[in-house]
Amino acid sequence: MKFVTSILNRRAVMALAAASMLAGVMHSAPVSAADVTIPIIVKDTTSFYWQIVLAGARKAGKD
């Protein structure tokens, strides 16, 4: 019987910990897309690949 109550107490503690962690995550304010800034460091401006990456980043920045 002591073993069963020990397991139930562990489950209760784990459930309480999980619920409080979830509540903490859900309580944080959502970040809108306008607040997010992602810096891009272009390694080479003459490379076709980096020109495409830079063009895509500029287009995404306008959206």
pLDDT the model gives residue 34 = 66
- Chain segment 17-59, per-residue pLDDT in tens: 777 776 665 655 565 556 677 777 766 778 888 788 888 888 8
User: Rounded distance, CA 25 to CA 63, Å?
Assistant: 28
When comparing pLDDT for 56 and 16, which is higher? 56
pLDDT the model gives residue 25 = 59
User: Rounded distance, CA 29 to CA 6, Å?
Assistant: 37
pLDDT the model gives residue 44 = 73
Number of alpha carbons in the 13 Å side-chain half-sphere of residue 22: 6
pLDDT the model gives residue 60 = 84
pTM above 0.85, yes or no: no
Which of 16, 12, 59, 24 shows the shortest CA–CA distance to 40? 59
Instruction: Find out whether 44 and 50 touch, Cβ atoms under 8 Å.
Output: yes
